[in-house]
Structure formats: C-alpha cells, structure tokens
Amino acid sequence: MPTLDIAGDARRTIDVIKQGGIALVPNQTGYAMTGAMLDPLQKIYDTKRRGSHKRNAMAADLETQRELMTLGKREQEMVEAITVDHDLPLGVIGTFRADHPLLVKLGSEALKASTAGGTIGNLLNAGPFHKELTRLSREEVVPLFGSSANLSGTGTKFAVEDIQPELLAIADITIDYGLCRYHTYRRAGTLINFSTMQVVRIGACYELISGVLKRWFGVELPADPGLDVLPSGHLNEYALKNVQ
C-alpha cells in the first residue's frame, strides 16, 4: 500500500496556491514556503524576517526552465547533465524571458522581488513531489515562488517539526513527507549562476555536481571549505544587496 499520495497532495497544494494561499512543501533539499502572487510572497518574506539582499526562488521542471531561461547551449547542457543524466537537485540561476507566461502571471512587483541583475533562480529536480507540483504549475500556469521554510539566518529545515511556529501558522496547507533526503548535507540546495559560471551557494550534492562539471565539461568549481567554516554555504551572501 502506498504511503504517500503525491498526485493528490500536489493537486491540493496547487489549488490552495491558485487561490492566493501559502503552501509549505517538501523538497529533497529541505522544506519550502511557496505562493503564486505578491501578497502571499510578501507574507512569507515578512514572517521569515528576510533581508533586502534576499530574493524569492522559483520551483520549476526542466521543460519550464528550458523555455524560461536564456542560457547558452553549453550551459544548458551542463544543467541537463546534472539534473537528468546524474539525477541531482540543482538551483539554476540565469538570464530569462520576462514575457514567459508564468512570469507574466506572477506580476511585475512580485517578479521584481524574485530577480536581480537580469537573472532568476529555478530549483530543479528536487524530488517526486516537486516533479508533480511543477508539472501542474507549468500546465495550469500557476507560478511557484518562495523560499526555505525557516526564519532568516536559522538554516534550512529538513523536518516539519523543526520549522518555527510562526511559519507553520501562515501555511494554508502543509505537506509533511518526513525527513528530507539530503538532510545529511545540513545545507540547502547548491546554487550556480550559469550565466557567469559562479557558485552562489555550496549545498546539497555539491561534490557530485562538481564532479560532473569537471569530468564532462572541464569546469572546476571552488572547493567546499566545510560546514564549520561556511555553514550556510553562501560564498557572498550579500552580493544582491542594492541590486535591482
């Protein structure tokens, strides 16, 4: 007997988000809060007590990422080698088409809070629930934006019971799938800007992602200094401060 109703849970989640609600959802790289328009995203931002240097991220499947981002051929091949050939989760940052239907639906103010320097971030390949939810997002044109389910500066949460009460209280639906797969990394997902080939955050599966890029593309990423030195994984956390 199945223990998870992924299709049903994704359906319920997208319906809540469509109506302007906030969803607390599981990704293999940690739990996240997500919404589809300015009001819920602002509520998440305020409750998390986020700084001005932070941006919302977008959950997407590969088909959406291909349509939305304007990466070069080689950079797109890197993304697909990591997420498809090697089945690893990845945060992809890159230039984008502002006229994509999902971004038009999001609205200009929410888009401004989710982009910087002409780039946007997509979370790809973050597990079966993420796959189903992002499929519905694409097919029904429901943007999925948000950030990790934690008060700012307290680290990614890998179990619902570790999420602060303030965030649990604003969720209109909570999907609890237990401990996230990549909890042992104790960081959120790896983020790479593929427009500049700069690592933004060292996170889950970083050593595997680095290995793929080095072996197949000759790209050498910086070494991970370790959790003790860099617990958040951010190489320059305040880089986006005052960036439009």
Domains, the chain, in order of start with CATH, read 6-217 (3.90.870.10)
Distance CA(195)–CA(49), nearest Å, equals 29
- Give phi and psi for 119, each to the nearest 5: -125, 160
Task: Give pLDDT, residue 190.
Answer: 98
Distance CA(26)–CA(22), nearest Å, equals 13
Task: Give pLDDT, residue 244.
Answer: 47
Task: Give pLDDT, residue 67.
Answer: 98
**Residue 139 neighbours by CB under 8 Å, 6+ apart:** none
Distance CA(97)–CA(174), nearest Å, equals 31
Successive 10-residue mean pLDDT values, the chain, 244 residues: 95 98 98 98 94 87 98 98 98 98 97 95 98 98 97 96 98 98 98 97 98 98 96 76 45
